[in-house]
């Protein structure tokens, strides 16, 4: 079987859990004989093509009709002032002229190239890129033969919808996070919500990464229960061990993730403040970047913790691995975490974890200390206990290895492959 898969990034260019999940799942599916055409907005030339045919959207030529569809769907409000505007036209003549010529003017004046360009990032032009991506999907759906369309997260749902219209093939969408996870109640971006809802409504099947996410999809997006399948993420079991990295004088506690509302960085800082008043020999690391980055630096400074609290900014995976290998405790205080792959990566390196109960990974890992994200007293107690009772720390880390045995990408891929077969 051949799967047309739409994503937003591919190794080695991964910025978070979504890219990690796409890679782990695709790798295992490939080993099971599934042929995958993996589409990304932009490729950099060093992507791993062994497990999928990586197809950059910015190399797909578009026909005039494709671009016309784009401009009509996007409801472009654009008028080029030129010699076709004749003095003394009636309103009716002007309206007829604009309707007959504006699309042609747009096609020739706005985009003369047969290709759309993409930054491939999550920048200011993201919504425009999502729209352009969906039009490229129509060209791809005409040019390639495939059995199922598989889309990862809201960025690709419009592409999946357009590909389904052209090909009439079944659409499977993979919900790694919802807008309710990212923004929280009362702060929903309605544009993103609408795209998510359109994708779910158009889908023949929905995969979500936890029961937590399933509940949100049913209650907030009005999707039927029998349309949704929960498939928990896995972990790459072929990581390279970091030998002797834990020979250090200070204990290290690590937060890893985007520094945004969803990940709860302010709760981590509050818990750290409580620990620092009891223990002067612990250092704390916040790995990642995000819209709350400067706010967290200011908060740490205001609490007088700057000498033992370190901000690394965004790190590539090999640097993340080193930080985890050096850590004594990993903390994930997420407000709403659909899964939380980084918690599994910490356990792989024998690092005990403190995680919020509001996370998907808490559904599948028994041997972790679990707290409510807002309860920073309990969070501080859990971290302090793991730091000061070595037997507890070692017991938790060892027992968690049993949890990891059941969390493989191969197991997840088997379930996904079964869904493909059902849809076909």
pLDDT tens-digit profile of 261-307?
A: 999 999 999 999 999 988 888 999 999 998 999 999 999 999 999 99
Task: Return the SS3 of 251.
Answer: strand
| 370: phi then psi, degrees, rounded to nearest 5 | -115, 135
Which of 236, 170, 178, 225 has its CA nearest to residue 23?
Answer: 236
More confident residue, 99 or 151: 151
Residue 113 binned pLDDT confidence (cut-offs 50, 70, 90)? low
Is residue 413 pLDDT above 50, yes or no?
A: yes
pLDDT of residue 128: 85
Task: Return the SS3 of 313.
Answer: strand
pLDDT of residue 35: 95
CA 318-321-324 angle, to 5 degrees, is: 155
Is residue 80 pLDDT above 50, yes or no?
A: no
Highest mean pLDDT among 50-59, 162-171, 276-285, 388-397: 162-171
For the whole model, what pTM was predicted? 0.84
Residue 67 binned pLDDT confidence (cut-offs 50, 70, 90)? low
pLDDT of residue 243: 52
Q: What is the CA radius of gyration of the chain?
A: 24
pLDDT of residue 242: 56
Q: Give CA separation, 260 vs 85, 233, 256, 264, in Å.
A: 50, 22, 11, 7
Question: Chain-wide mean pLDDT for the chain?
Answer: 85
| 285: phi then psi, degrees, rounded to nearest 5 | -125, 130
Which of 49, 256, 44, 40 has its CA nearest to residue 153?
Answer: 40
Angle between helices 265-276 and 376-388 (to 10 degrees): 60
Q: Left, alpha or beta for 182 (phi > 0: left; psi -120 to 50: alpha)?
A: alpha
Helix spans in 3-156 (H)? 17-31, 64-73, 91-109, 126-143
pLDDT of residue 127: 85
Q: Left, alpha or beta for 45 (phi > 0: left; psi -120 to 50: alpha)?
A: left
Domains in the chain with CATH codes? 2-62+116-234+412-423 (3.40.50.2000), 64-109 (no CATH), 251-405 (3.40.50.2000)
pLDDT of residue 77: 36
Residue 241 binned pLDDT confidence (cut-offs 50, 70, 90)? low
Could you give the CA distance from residue 323 to residue 317 in angstroms, rounded to a whole number?
10
Asked if 24 and 209 touch (Cβ cutoff 8 Å), the reply is no
């Amino acid at each position: 079987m051949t799967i047309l898969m739409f994503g937003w990034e591919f190794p080695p260019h991964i910025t978070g859990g979504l890219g990690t999940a796409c890679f782990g799942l695709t790798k295992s599916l490939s080993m099971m004989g599934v042929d995958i055409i993996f589409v990304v907005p932009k490729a950099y030339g060093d992507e791993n093509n062994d497990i999928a045919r990586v197809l950059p959207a910015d190399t797909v030529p578009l026909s005039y009709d494709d671009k016309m569809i784009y401009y009509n769907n996007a409801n472009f409000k654009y008028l080029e002032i030129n010699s076709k505007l004749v003095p003394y036209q009636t309103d009716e003549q002007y309206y007829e002229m604009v309707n007959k010529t504006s699309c042609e003017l747009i096609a020739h004046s706005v985009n003369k190239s047969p290709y759309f360009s993409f930054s491939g990032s999550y920048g200011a032009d993201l919504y425009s890129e999502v729209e352009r991506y969906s039009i490229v999907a129509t060209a791809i759906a005409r040019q390639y033969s495939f059995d199922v369309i598989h889309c990862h997260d809201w960025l690709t749902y419009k592409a999946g919808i357009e590909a389904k219209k052209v090909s009439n093939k079944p659409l499977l969408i993979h919900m790694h996070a919802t807008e309710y996870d990212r923004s929280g109640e009362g702060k929903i971006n309605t544009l993103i919500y609408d795209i998510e809802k359109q994708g779910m409504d158009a889908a023949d099947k929905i995969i979500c990464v936890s029961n937590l996410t399933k509940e949100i999809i049913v209650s907030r997006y009005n999707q039927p229960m029998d349309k949704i399948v929960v498939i928990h993420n896995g972990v790459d079991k072929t990581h390279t061990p970091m030998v002797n990295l834990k020979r250090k004088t200070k204990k290290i506690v690590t937060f890893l993730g985007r520094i945004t509302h969803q990940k709860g960085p302010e709760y981590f800082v509050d818990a750290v403040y409580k620990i620092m008043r009891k223990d002067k020999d612990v250092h704390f690391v916040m790995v990642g970047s995000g819209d709350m980055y400067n706010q967290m630096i200011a908060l740490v400074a205001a609490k007088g913790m700057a000498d033992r609290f370190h901000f690394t900014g965004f790190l590539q995976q090999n640097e993340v691995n080193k930080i985890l290998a050096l850590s004594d405790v990993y903390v994930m205080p997420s407000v709403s975490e659909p899964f939380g792959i980084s918690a599994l990566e910490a356990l792989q390196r024998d690092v005990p974890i403190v995680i919020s109960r509001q996370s998907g990974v808490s559904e599948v890992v028994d041997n972790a200390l679990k707290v409510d994200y807002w309860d920073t007293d309990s969070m501080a107690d859990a971290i302090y206990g793991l730091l000061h009772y070595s037997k507890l720390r070692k017991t938790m880390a060892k027992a968690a290895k049993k949890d990891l045995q059941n969390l493989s990408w191969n197991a997840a891929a088997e379930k996904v492959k079964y869904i493909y077969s059902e849809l076909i």
